[in-house]
Amino acid sequence: MGIRAITANMVGKKVIILPTTTNTANAAITSTPIFGISGYTKGTFVLTVSGKVMDASTTVNVYVQHSPDGTNWDDLVSFTQITNAAIGDGVYLAWLNPSQAASAVDRAVSDGALTANTVRSIHWCEQMRVKVVPVNFAGSDTITLKVEAWLA
C-alpha cells in the first residue's frame, strides 16, 4: 500500500505542522505554531523522512508539541529516534486517541524530553508545533523532514 492509499483513507482535517524542511545544522528547529485545533480529539501524525545522510554519531529526535499559551510547550508525540542505522527514508505514523488510555492528571511540562517512540494519551491545547532536535550534525549530515496530521 503506497502513501496515496494511506492518505486517501484518512478522515478529518489535514494540517501541515512542519512543512518540508531540510536540516544541515546542529541546532533545534521549531515550526510555526498552528491554531484552531483544540476542538479535535484524536489524530494521525505522519512523519516523512527523505534525503537522510548521517554519520554514526548523528541523531535526530522529532516531537509534536502543544501549548496553552505559546510559551510553555509540552510533548505529545516523540517519533522513533532517527540514527544512521535506524529509520530510513520513508513515512512513519503515530496515533493519538486520548479516549483509549488514561493519563496522569498532574505532571510537569516536557519540552523535547519525551522518550523516543512514545505517544501521550492526553487532550491537546489550542496550539501545536513540531520541534526537531539534531545531535552531532556536522560535515555532510543532512535530512529532510515533513510532519502532517489528520485530526478528527
pLDDT of residue 6: 47
Mean pLDDT of 118-146: 91
pLDDT of residue 94: 92
Mean pLDDT of 125-135: 95
Kindly report which listed range (9-13, 96-100, 130-134) carries the lowest average pLDDT score.
Answer: 9-13
- For residues 138 and 129, the model is more confident at 129
pLDDT of residue 100: 58
Grid cell in block for residue 8:
486517501
CA distance 90 to 75: 23
- pLDDT, the chain, mean: 86
Q: Work out how many domains the chain is built from and give that number.
A: 1
In the predicted structure, residue 130 carries a pLDDT above the cut 60: yes
pLDDT of residue 9: 52
Using one digit for the tens of pLDDT, what is the confidence trace for 31-52?
999 998 988 989 999 999 999 9
Query: For position 116, which CATH number holds?
Result: 2.60.120.380
Q: Which domain holds residue 10?
A: 3-151
In the predicted structure, residue 125 carries a pLDDT above the cut 70: yes
**Of 134, 125, 128, which Cα lies nearest the Cα of 149?**
128
Tell me the Ramachandran region of residue 128: left when phi exceeds 0, alpha when psi lies from -120 to 50, beta otherwise: beta
17 to 33, 102, 136: CA distances (angstroms): 7, 26, 25
pLDDT of residue 8: 47
In the predicted structure, residue 58 carries a pLDDT above the cut 70: yes
Using one digit for the tens of pLDDT, what is the confidence trace for 66-119?
999 999 999 999 999 998 887 778 899 999 887 755 555 556 677 887 888 888
